[in-house]
Amino acid sequence: MRNTTKITTAVLAVGALAFGATACGSDSDSDSGAKADPSKPLVVAASPTPHAVILDYVKDHLAKQAGLKLEVKEFTDYVTPNTAVQDGSVDANFFQHKPYLTDFNKKNGTDIVPVVDVHLEPLGLYSKKIKKVDDLKKGATVALPNDTTNEARSLKLLAAHDVITLKAGAGDDATPKDIAKNPKDITFKELEAAQVPRSLGDVDAAVINGNYAVQAKLSPAKDSLALESAKDNPYTNLLAVKKGNESDPRVKKLAKLLASQDVKKFIEKKFDGSVLPAA
């Protein structure tokens, strides 16, 4: 049975505002690093699916035997889990990939670091109006996540399937301005990542992050018109902590459990190819 704290978007806004006043130098009241009290619960911020689902599996089936108390807090955006780690409201987070984390640290002056890779959520193109990529009509509208790394990732997916051509050198911060050729004159609707699945009925197609696709009851393996390749993919989702807390014995225990064969088998069985365990 799940015992998970859910944080709503309305509450998240307050947390994000509070971070602006505290991120540049406030110290957490909680124990951290090697001096952390191993008897206290490790509080981890996570997206609901698949991250919190995976953590709940660890808590219900593996944590007790490993001597780990685990508390999971669900967040529905891509900002507050990092600000909460930075200001010490939570001990760790599990929701993002390294390119997003690197960009977030650069833009916000945070010092959050990866601990262990856990899984990949393939980014996919979905539609309620067409059956294959080639069916996109001239003047179609395609929704994209608007955060830097996932927008660039979306454009690369479309380029890989010949929908657009990106300018030479377009990298992990590419935007629609970096499109060299757009033969179908596609209009791009940029939305917060969590909102993209809700736009499916209003656009011709949408590029949706894997966790939000699963949450919207879409199967990346079965429902997508185009899907990222898992081979050499840099967007593996990871456990992250504030720099210096990697040595927290509770973090080390959780990292070991998340990398275990038990968790890999759970991911494969639970998500049926929609979420892939890290290699």
Q: What is the pLDDT along the chain (279 residues), one digit of tens a residue?
A: 444 444 433 333 333 333 333 333 334 444 457 778 888 999 999 999 999 999 999 999 999 999 999 999 999 999 999 999 999 999 999 999 999 999 999 999 999 999 999 999 889 999 999 999 999 999 999 999 999 889 999 999 999 999 999 999 998 889 999 999 999 999 999 999 999 999 999 999 999 988 889 889 998 889 999 998 767 788 899 999 999 999 999 999 999 999 999 999 999 999 888 888 987
According to DSSP, the residues that pair with 42 across neighbouring strands are 70
- Whether residue 96 contacts residue 236, with contact meaning beta carbons closer than 8 Å, is answered with no
Buried b (16+ CB within 10 A) or exposed e, 232-255: ebebbbbbbbbeebbebbbbbbbb
- Owner of token pair 């833009």: 107
Non-local CB neighbours of 176 within 8 Å, separated by 6+ positions: 155, 188, 190
CB 176 within 8 A of CB 155: yes
Tell me how far apart the alpha carbons of residues 77 and 182 are, in angstroms, rounded to a whole number: 30
The upper half-sphere exposure of residue 97, i.e. CA atoms within 13 Å in the direction of its Cβ, equals 20
Write the single-letter amino acid at 57. Y
Whole-angstrom CA distances from 222 to 119, 161, 188, 189, 268 are: 19, 17, 24, 24, 15
Its CATH class, for the domain covering 5-122+234-277, is alpha beta
Residue 171: Cβ within 10 Å count? 10
Q: Where are the domains of the chain?
A: 5-122+234-277, 124-227
Do the beta carbons of residue 237 and residue 94 sit within 8 Å? yes
Interatomic CA distance for residues 211 and 16, integer angstroms = 22
Q: Is the whole-model pTM more than 0.75?
A: no
Q: Which pair of tokens denotes residue 57?
A: 């599996």
Its CATH class, for the domain covering 124-227, is: alpha beta
Residue 10, beta-bridge partner list: none
β-bridge pairing 92-97 and 179-181: unpaired
Number of Cβ within 10 Å of residue 79's Cβ equals 17
